[in-house]
Structure 1
Amino acid sequence: MAKYQKLLEPLKIGNVELKNRFVMLPMTIEKVDNYHVTDDLVDFYEKRAEGGVGLVEIGSAYVCDCFNTTPKYHTTTGACGIWDDEFIPGFKRVADVCHEHGSKVAAQLQLCYEWRATGEDPLLSYSPSKDVMSGPFVGMPEREFTKEEIAILVDQYGAAAKRCKEAGIDIIEIHAGIGYMVMRFLSKYSNHRTDEYGGSPENRARLLTEIIDKIHETCGADMPILIRISADDLMPGGNRIEDTLELVPIIEKHGVDAWSVQAGFHEAPRPVANQIVPEGEFIDLAKQVKTVTNKPVFPGTRINTLDMCDKIMNEGYGDAVGMGRQFIADPETANKVAAGHPEQVRPCIVCSRCLDNIFIGKPCQCSVNAHVWQGVKVGTPEEHPAEKQKHVVVIGAGPGGCEAARVAAIRGHKVTLIDKSDRVGGLLNMAQVLNAKIEPLVKYWNEEIKLHPNIELKLNTKVDAAAVKALNPDEVIVSPGGGIIALDVPGINGKNVVKSEDIKEMCAGKVPEGKGMLWKAAVAAIKAQGGTVEFMRFGLNMASGPTAIVGKRVVVVGGGFAGLEVAEAMCENRQITVIEEAKKLGNGIGIIDKNPTINLVKSKGVKLMPLTKLVEVTKKGAKVQNVETGEETLLECDTVLTSLGVEQNTALYDEIKAVFPNAILIGDATTPAGKVFRTLEAVKGGYEAAMSI
């Protein structure tokens, strides 16, 4: 059987047949209007159905009235309401458009940490036991559920499910994972009740089984029910896989048709979904659940590549694969696999920029798919072909320039894409050496540019205004990359200093200006190995040897996103100290990744020194100063590595704009002072620019 073909086989959940094994996991993407389904949300789900997903799940259908409230848990405000009949038309719109493309639809019934019985009551934080902290942002619970209130809650679930059925939803999912309310009853960590809803496995499962019974009562025995559960909640004294294996048969007796298996609470001390979590870290939990049920089971935590999906299907880890962020990155993933072109799949780089927005109540965004953020307001290039074909010159083949070229080409324009380097990708070529998660994105851009015959790629080509004019373009998009933030201190040009621009040049196969034989040997070795990323990564991490351009003892100047990434990537067999002038490290890292990243580099032995600035580089190392006390210290080291990020870079743009007044500047070159622009901002800029032509 050809690779990935098992993913295309049909699967039945209850009486509902899915056309393939791809499941778009439910996510609260914050595209609602006062809990109502919007055009943007319908479009979001339709794009995934059109892209071939077998089962599309509507994230967070809230079962209790939240109108005119201010939830402490911000994500609640982005949920779809299903507590009233007025929401049925919105759910029907989603079901209808997905069905048109052959996808089935599930609605995830949800209650996070706050609840009220009616719209007349205050929205308060609830829990099974008042002695355990509630979820993120919520604090200690204000109320412990009474048995009378539990009965009301169960009725709310039953009524919500009935509305979903009336809207044409195919499957009901009950969210019983990640530390939300149903999971808080299931978990020994959060449920300390002594009545019939606490204690034994049967009692802790009672809320869930009563909800299942009520849904069968309101929707009929033939309505398929899917349970999403954290098989290990990762909380101290909480449920381990052994507890879940005991719970599954108890719950299943009440009529369950499939299991979606995840891990953790949102507040768990161990990261679950971050980039630092190895892909497939939790798939074995699903494999173990399969030992106690004959119903379909699929894992759905930290999975984003087709190779991992293939492993899950072929090695018995699951009967389907659940992904959320990958289908945000590329809604066409399933179709591309079915067409035999998996190399064209746009990869999720697990940067968590989507979750950064979602967790503070802002609409979903994506570093590699700007349409998610722009939505129906801007639309897709396929939906908006150019009224008049133009010749568009794009200067710079980084992520912003590549995206601008791609979008302009799809819309029908002739594109000339120019870069002074010998390859596309821009700063991503350096980033992929430091971070292997970026490598698939660089490969994607290389494949994508080949797909469009109306893109002419000119590499190893420097341009100025005269060169652009000679191309006779109708429109010009300038994406030159940001200027490297420079340091002006004594000794900064010493032989023991490595600047981020030096590594960038080396990754582009060039010897940085002013560098000697060691660098020439390193670049020659890279070229001899075909310029492979693996060899460059190996070379940078060598602590000794003929191509060791970074020594054993390193001071990294800059504790923002770039500096911490460098420190984490190069800390093996090295002593690394990161200095940062600001009080807090991690500028440019979002809420999801910041603390885990800082904790990770600490755990790897990296010394972090905030409120510290470089004042001089000597032959012995880095002379630094505490910005509060003025005290100076010499940090002895072999290498001082500057990694301060980038700043505005408008020189080329200003020159070109004098000749082409309508030229558009995008990407890192537009970075405001004090801000950090990353792949997301570059891709968004390229998308917007090309859609505006």
Structure 2
Amino acid sequence: MASPHPSAAASRYRTLLSPLDLGPLTLRNRIVMGSMHTGLEDHPGDAGRLAAFLGERARGGAGLIVTGGFSPNRSGRLSLDGAQASEHLLRRHPRITQEVHEADGRIVLQLLHAGRYAAQPLAASATAGRSPLSPFRSRRLTRRGVSRTIEQFAASARRAVEAGYDGVEIMGSEGYLLNQFLAPATNRRRDRWGRGAEGRRALPLAVAAAVREAIGPDALLTYRLSLVDLVPGGQTWDETIVLARGLQERGVDVLSSGIGWHEARVPTIVTSVPRGAFVPLTAQLRREVDLPVIASNRLHDPDLAESVVARGDADLVSMARPLLADPHLPRKLAEGRSGQIVACIACNQSCLDKVFDHQRASCLVNPRAAHETELVLTPVVQRRARRVAVVGAGPAGLEAALAAAERGHVVTLFEASQEIGGQLRLAARIPGKEDYALALRSWRMRLASAGVGIRLGTRPSAEDLQEFHDVIVATGVTPRLVDLPGFAPQAEAPAAGPQVVTYQDLLEERAVAGERVAIIGAGGIGVDVAEYLTSPIPSATLDAATWREHWGVLDPSAHRGGVAARRTPPEAPADPPTDGRRAREVHLLQRKETKIGAGLGRTTGWVHRAELRRAGVVQHTGVAYERIDEQGLHLLEDGEERVLDVDTVVLCTGQESVTGLAAELLEARSGRLPRVHVIGGADVAAELDAQRAIRQAVEVAAAL
């Protein structure tokens, strides 16, 4: 990957961008696009879309690409129609490998047997049982079944190489089948495939040996190794190192770090996990084996990635979701454009949450991801460029302005406040969501590079916008108020009774919460506000050691599985917090009778619910609000009247679209007025759905 600015690249990302001999291959840099299932792997008819998705990352400069997981047999599929490395499916894959190779990329196919995680009735594992992730009980693999599984791994690997892949990766981490055989908690066999640590690692070693024989010496063999299982009854560090050395003896070329099982009650990749929290384990592994090692998990920051490789903590860095957000991340680093990288915020809303719901993955900040053939931003010739006004600089407006400008239109962005970001700027103030600010920084840099004119502190009228061909109205939302006695927000605390504020007042620091707080509305915003009011100071996300202690992560060399025994956080703290947490009594209330946080993301909701329990937030469901007066908040709960003696009531009761400008433009429409497009929250105020808003913004810009 040639760089027009080699001196800039050499001075800042010299090690990360340097070539590396890896087994039989030479990689152009140390950046790996780790395995991510997108949903495009499952059906032969999606091979063209998958080729476009992976080819885009190869053109963007990734040194090595690892596909999503393909099962070696039917029982190992993640779902009934999940991906399997069958002859029928892989017959379509030469177009994928050719697309990557034409861009000078290298690609390996990941072989993944789901084991007890398979959400289908053919599930099989080391021991019979059901995982928390599947409705189906897995059967125990017979000894013949184990032997056939080894053969099927080898046959699948051979087919992958025949389809043009540069090699294969064996998934031995994250709690899938091979990991299940390694852990005493899930392998209670008394035959040669169990009965002690040596028997438990026999299957992974046999699979590695069979795959190496099947693909020969000229193909790359990587193994994703669980460095810490984060489940009771997982592996010890000594067992992991013995396994790693055995894999090396059987011809594995590189070890890729895996962290935690999917069922672990410790978050490993969500945005509240500190950056590089698990790098010390990768560094320790690298000292124990004579193989290249790939670091992974929360390595989104290129500066951090460079330091990890430069220090010798790892030989390569896996940047899976960052390359989902920006397929051209490596190229931008090489060209000295690191500030223009589309920042992944590790929200999981459009990627992992979608996959676990059996939908096609994408990316909140890059809706074109895995939709490259459908959502196309075609450049316009200069004579067809339109003058475009975008009003509102929240996520929808920012992305609409950028997408339109990148197509070649002349764009002016108006924002009534003095800062861009809208509701996303507020979200970045929630402890654990600090990385959301990276997205705003990225938008600023990219808007400037695209030549978008930005007018802050400006609220244009319909008359002001007549000179434009198109006006994209992205004026966002305003907090919805409650029409009950005493619920009107107050600028100052009253002489008696609680002060009523909106979540926006609180997060923009126009109001300060007292020691006893009631939060009305327990959707995503209400949960965020509860964490904002109760989280440790400073945020545990900003210090890896504090975070590990917070979540009970232990040294796997001293504690099997690397995690403390499961604890049940108290519903209310018995004593004032001693860990820096803000000492407040917080009540979180909702009208629905469902569990609070039930509508949060599949991969992140449980983290937020655990934090609420740990902080002692008092949760109320099925309540009816009556009034607020000098006594406090009056409500009905379980059919009985109750008064909460609080000094602050925070309204998180939803949002309403800000539609004034759109109505003004549409009402004044005439032949000479611009075309009007309403997007984001101004179109639908739906619980701050940034995913929908940003995709809608790109779709509108693509159609201009």
**TM-score bracket, shorter-length normalisation:** 0.7 to 0.9
- Superposition deviation, residue 423 in structure 1: 2.1
> Deviations 1:62-100 (Å, cap 9, x if unpaired)?
21148xx9x7x44x7453x3221x333432222211122
Equivalent residues of 2:469, 2:675 under 8 A apart:
no
- Change over 3 Å in CA distance of 1:446–1:650 after alignment to 2: same
Whole-Å separation in 2 of the counterparts to 1:491 and 1:155: 71
**Where in structure 2 are the equivalents of 1:309-348 lying within 5 Å?**
309-348=305-344
Range moving further from structure 2, 24-33 or 326-335: 24-33
1:560 matches 2:555: no
Name the amino acid aligned to 1:375.
E
Q: Residue in 1 aligned with 2:362?
A: 365
Give the 3-state SS of the residue equivalent to 1:3 in structure 2. Answer: helix
Give the 3-state SS of the residue equivalent to 2:374 in structure 1. Answer: helix
- Superposition deviation, residue 140 in structure 1: 2.5
Q: Residue in 2 aligned with 1:582?
A: 592
Whole-Å separation in 1 of the counterparts to 2:501 and 2:306: 41
**Where in structure 2 are the equivalents of 1:239-258 lying within 5 Å?**
239-258=235-254
Equivalent residues of 1:35, 1:77 under 8 A apart:
no
Q: Residue in 1 aligned with 2:538?
A: none
Equivalent residues of 1:394, 1:405 under 8 A apart:
yes
State which of 133, 137, 143 in structure 1 corresponds to 2:134.
137
Whole-Å separation in 2 of the counterparts to 1:41 and 1:644: 41
Equivalent residues of 2:44, 2:92 under 8 A apart:
no
State which of 609, 613, 619 in structure 1 corresponds to 2:620.
609
Whole-Å separation in 2 of the counterparts to 1:168 and 1:237: 40
- Change over 3 Å in CA distance of 1:313–1:691 after alignment to 2: same
1:481 matches 2:482: no
What runs of 5+ residues in structure 1 fail to find an aligned partner?
Answer: 117-121, 508-518, 520-547
Whole-Å separation in 2 of the counterparts to 1:139 and 1:229: 26
Give the 3-state SS of the residue equivalent to 1:377 in structure 2. Answer: coil
Whole-Å separation in 2 of the counterparts to 1:36 and 1:12: 35
Whole-Å separation in 1 of the counterparts to 2:320 and 2:471: 36
> Deviations 1:618-671 (Å, cap 9, x if unpaired)?
334322322xx3322221222111122323443321221232584111101222
- Change over 3 Å in CA distance of 1:155–1:385 after alignment to 2: farther
Give the 3-state SS of the residue equivalent to 1:352 in structure 2. Answer: coil
State which of 639, 647, 651 in structure 2 corresponds to 1:642.
651
Q: Residue in 2 aligned with 1:355?
A: 352
Range moving further from structure 2, 12-21 or 490-499: 490-499
**Where in structure 2 are the equivalents of 1:145-156 lying within 5 Å?**
145-156=141-152
- Superposition deviation, residue 161 in structure 1: 0.9
1:570 matches 2:572: no
- Superposition deviation, residue 381 in structure 1: 4.5
Equivalent residues of 1:201, 1:246 under 8 A apart:
no
Whole-Å separation in 2 of the counterparts to 1:101 and 1:3: 25
Q: Residue in 2 aligned with 1:442?
A: 440
Whole-Å separation in 1 of the counterparts to 2:383 and 2:591: 51
Equivalent residues of 1:37, 1:90 under 8 A apart:
no
> Deviations 1:504-523 (Å, cap 9, x if unpaired)?
6x46xxxxxxxxxxx5xxxx
1:50 matches 2:47: no
Equivalent residues of 1:557, 1:643 under 8 A apart:
yes
Q: Residue in 2 aligned with 1:656?
A: 665
Whole-Å separation in 2 of the counterparts to 1:489 and 1:561: 23
Equivalent residues of 1:241, 1:285 under 8 A apart:
no
Equivalent residues of 2:174, 2:258 under 8 A apart:
yes
**Where in structure 2 are the equivalents of 1:73-222 lying within 5 Å?**
73-74=78-79, 77-79=81-83, 81-84=84-87, 86-113=88-115, 124-130=122-128, 132-134=129-131, 136-141=133-138, 143-222=139-218
1:426 matches 2:426: no
Name the amino acid aligned to 1:569.
Y
Q: Residue in 1 aligned with 2:572?
A: none
Whole-Å separation in 1 of the counterparts to 2:415 and 2:382: 25
- Superposition deviation, residue 360 in structure 1: 1.4
- Change over 3 Å in CA distance of 1:111–1:691 after alignment to 2: same
Q: Residue in 2 aligned with 1:409?
A: 405
- Change over 3 Å in CA distance of 1:139–1:680 after alignment to 2: same
Structure 2-normalised TM-score?
0.85
State which of 214, 230, 233 in structure 1 corresponds to 2:229.
233
Q: Residue in 2 aligned with 1:593?
A: 604
1:502 matches 2:505: yes
**Where in structure 2 are the equivalents of 1:301-316 lying within 5 Å?**
301-316=297-312
> Deviations 1:93-132 (Å, cap 9, x if unpaired)?
222111222221111011112799xxxxx961111111x4
What runs of 5+ residues in structure 2 fail to find an aligned partner?
Answer: 1-9, 494-498, 535-580
Give the 3-state SS of the residue equivalent to 1:563 in structure 2. Answer: helix
- Change over 3 Å in CA distance of 1:577–1:310 after alignment to 2: farther
Name the amino acid aligned to 1:475.
D
> Deviations 1:401-449 (Å, cap 9, x if unpaired)?
1111111111111112111111221222222222312111111111121
Q: Residue in 1 aligned with 2:487?
A: 492
Whole-Å separation in 1 of the counterparts to 2:60 and 2:514: 48
Name the amino acid aligned to 1:484.
P
Name the amino acid aligned to 2:470.
E
- Superposition deviation, residue 685 in structure 1: 1.3
Q: Residue in 2 aligned with 1:665?
A: 678
Name the amino acid aligned to 1:665.
V
Whole-Å separation in 2 of the counterparts to 1:36 and 1:152: 28
Equivalent residues of 1:125, 1:138 under 8 A apart:
no
- Superposition deviation, residue 33 in structure 1: 5.7
Q: Which has the higher contact order (CA 8 A, sep 6+)?
A: 2
- Superposition deviation, residue 5 in structure 1: 2.3
Give the 3-state SS of the residue equivalent to 1:370 in structure 2. Answer: coil
Whole-Å separation in 2 of the counterparts to 1:10 and 1:335: 14
Whole-Å separation in 1 of the counterparts to 2:105 and 2:391: 40
Runs of 4+ in 1 over 4 A off after TM superposition: 384-387
Give the 3-state SS of the residue equivalent to 2:471 in structure 1. Answer: strand
Equivalent residues of 2:279, 2:313 under 8 A apart:
yes
Whole-Å separation in 1 of the counterparts to 2:121 and 2:501: 55
Equivalent residues of 1:35, 1:78 under 8 A apart:
no
- Superposition deviation, residue 32 in structure 1: 4.0
**Where in structure 2 are the equivalents of 1:624-635 lying within 5 Å?**
624-626=635-637, 629-635=638-644
- Superposition deviation, residue 145 in structure 1: 0.9
Range moving further from structure 2, 276-285 or 442-451: 276-285
- Change over 3 Å in CA distance of 1:314–1:554 after alignment to 2: farther
Whole-Å separation in 1 of the counterparts to 2:329 and 2:522: 36
Q: Residue in 1 aligned with 2:539?
A: none
Structure 1-normalised TM-score?
0.86
Matched residues, number:
631
- Change over 3 Å in CA distance of 1:647–1:230 after alignment to 2: farther
- Change over 3 Å in CA distance of 1:17–1:156 after alignment to 2: same
- Superposition deviation, residue 262 in structure 1: 1.3
Q: Residue in 2 aligned with 1:621?
A: 632
**Where in structure 2 are the equivalents of 1:270-309 lying within 5 Å?**
270-309=266-305
Give the 3-state SS of the residue equivalent to 1:218 in structure 2. Answer: helix
Equivalent residues of 1:579, 1:613 under 8 A apart:
no
Whole-Å separation in 1 of the counterparts to 2:449 and 2:588: 42
Whole-Å separation in 2 of the counterparts to 1:611 and 1:4: 54
Whole-Å separation in 1 of the counterparts to 2:372 and 2:439: 22
Equivalent residues of 1:161, 1:215 under 8 A apart:
yes
1:464 matches 2:461: yes
Range moving further from structure 2, 209-218 or 184-193: 209-218
> Deviations 1:520-545 (Å, cap 9, x if unpaired)?
xxxxxxxxxxxxxxxxxxxxxxxxxx
Name the amino acid aligned to 1:102.
D
> Deviations 1:189-228 (Å, cap 9, x if unpaired)?
2111111111233321221222222223222133221100
Name the amino acid aligned to 1:332.
H
- Superposition deviation, residue 375 in structure 1: 2.8
- Change over 3 Å in CA distance of 1:645–1:241 after alignment to 2: farther
Equivalent residues of 1:645, 1:676 under 8 A apart:
yes
Whole-Å separation in 1 of the counterparts to 2:441 and 2:212: 48
